Structure formats: C-alpha cells, structure tokens
C-alpha cells in the first residue's frame, strides 16, 4: 500500500502545505505510527516484578529470543523465574544501553567507558551477574563480567583468591600436586592471556 501511495501521489505532484508533497507527510505519519507500534516485551523476575522493554532489548538474550520464537506472536510476558529482580534490573540496564548504542551510533570509546563503569560493582553482585549472563546467553555481558572477574584475581596468590571468593581449600598436598601436574599446560595459556 505504501509503495502504491508513494508512487501515485509523487507521480501526480500533489503538494501540501508550504510546498511539502503529500507523500512526504504520509511518510512522516507512517514513521511516527511505526514508532508507536514497536513490539514491547515484559520480562518477569522470580519475585514477579516486571520489566517492560522493546523487543530489540529483550532479544539481546538468545534464550529470550528463542523463547519468543517458540511462543505465539502476541506473547508479551517472558517469565524468568530463576532470576531475582535486582539482577534482572542490571541485565535490562546493560541490554538497553547496548541496544541504544547501536540505534544511536554511540562512539566505541563511549561504549567501552560505560562498560568499564558498569562492572565496577561489588564482587557479590558481579559473580551472579556473570552466571545470569551465561544462563541467558548474553555473550557480550558474559565476556564483560568475566573480564572484570579476571581483573579481580590478576596478580593475586591462591590464598588471596580463596579468601576473596570464600573458597575453602580442602585438598591434601598430594592432591594439589596431582592437579598441578595434570594441568601444567594451562600455565602457558594463562601466561599468554596475561601478556595480551
């Protein structure tokens, strides 16, 4: 319909107020109407709190995208029963920013700066956020949180890492030595990552 109207009116040279062609006005109205009909999705947390977002924000999660693809077109609520509201709020904040960054063409430097500030959170929030990013298959968020976690442990001794994360070491000395031998090859990989 739009293309027919466009060519019909344009071909006739129909002119509106102040020299604007009618097809231009029609296009403006069409864009505004489309903006008002953007599909909205509600993400529901474990506690039942609801976060309404644009479809494009919701599908930053591959799990949500797959869920929406499997459900009816008019589905508006996606229950995320294993995700607490506080965590879902952070996920939505991240996805919304990155959705806007693409649409509004943010500079790469600004995005990196925002990401760096975003993960300056308590480790007790950062670790579950990484798990949720993995669970929801939001790869960019998962990579970002893992990088932040790696930054927390870089340069620390084993005992310091155990203390930082509340890990109890119950291995015997013989078991520790066996693990060191079995995974000796990983020290090269870790060194390469540290060097990059």
- Contact 164/152 with Cβ under 8 angstroms? yes
pLDDT > 60? residue 35: no
User: Is 15 a member of any domain?
Assistant: yes
User: Is 33 a member of any domain?
Assistant: yes
| 3-state DSSP of 80-143 | CCCCCHHHHHHHHHHHHHHHHHHHCCCCHHHHHHHHHHHCCCCHHHHHHHHHHHHHCCCHHHHH
Q: List the domain range (segments joined by +) for residue 17.
A: 1-37
> Closest by alpha carbon to 125, among 96, 97, 94?
94
User: Is 14 a member of any domain?
Assistant: yes
User: Is 3 a member of any domain?
Assistant: yes
pLDDT > 50? residue 18: no
pLDDT > 60? residue 11: no
3-class SS of residue 49:
coil
User: Is 32 a member of any domain?
Assistant: yes
User: What does the pLDDT look like over 69-93, one tens digit per residue?
Assistant: 988 777 789 999 999 999 999 999 9
CA distance 63 to 70: 11
User: Is 70 a member of any domain?
Assistant: no
User: What does the pLDDT look like over 107-148, one tens digit per residue?
Assistant: 999 999 999 999 999 999 999 999 999 999 999 999 999 999
* Lowest-confidence region among 4-8, 44-48, 146-150: 4-8
> Closest by alpha carbon to 55, among 32, 78, 83, 33?
78
pLDDT > 50? residue 57: yes
Question: What pLDDT does residue 184 have?
Answer: 80
Structure tokens at 86: 């506080």
Per the structure, how many domains does the chain have? Answer: 1
Question: What pLDDT does residue 77 have?
Answer: 92
């Amino acid at each position: 319909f739009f293309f027919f109207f466009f060519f019909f009116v344009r071909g006739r040279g129909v002119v509106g107020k102040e020299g604007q062609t009618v097809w231009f006005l029609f296009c403006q109205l069409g864009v505004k109407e489309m903006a008002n009909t953007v599909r909205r999705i509600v993400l529901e947390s474990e506690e039942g709190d609801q976060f309404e977002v644009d479809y494009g924000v919701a599908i930053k999660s591959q799990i949500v995208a797959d869920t929406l693809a499997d459900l009816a077109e008019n589905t508006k609520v996606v229950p995320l029963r294993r995700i607490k509201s506080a965590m879902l709020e952070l996920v939505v904040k991240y996805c919304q920013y990155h959705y806007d960054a693409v649409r509004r063409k943010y500079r790469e430097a600004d995005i990196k700066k925002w990401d760096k500030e975003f993960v300056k959170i308590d480790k007790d929030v950062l670790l579950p956020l990484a798990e949720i990013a993995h669970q929801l298959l939001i790869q960019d968020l998962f990579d970002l949180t893992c990088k932040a976690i790696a930054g927390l442990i870089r340069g620390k001794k084993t005992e310091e890492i155990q203390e930082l994360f509340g890990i109890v070491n119950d291995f015997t000395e013989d078991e520790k030595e066996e693990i060191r031998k079995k995974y000796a090859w990983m020290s090269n990989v870790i060194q390469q990552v540290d060097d990059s």
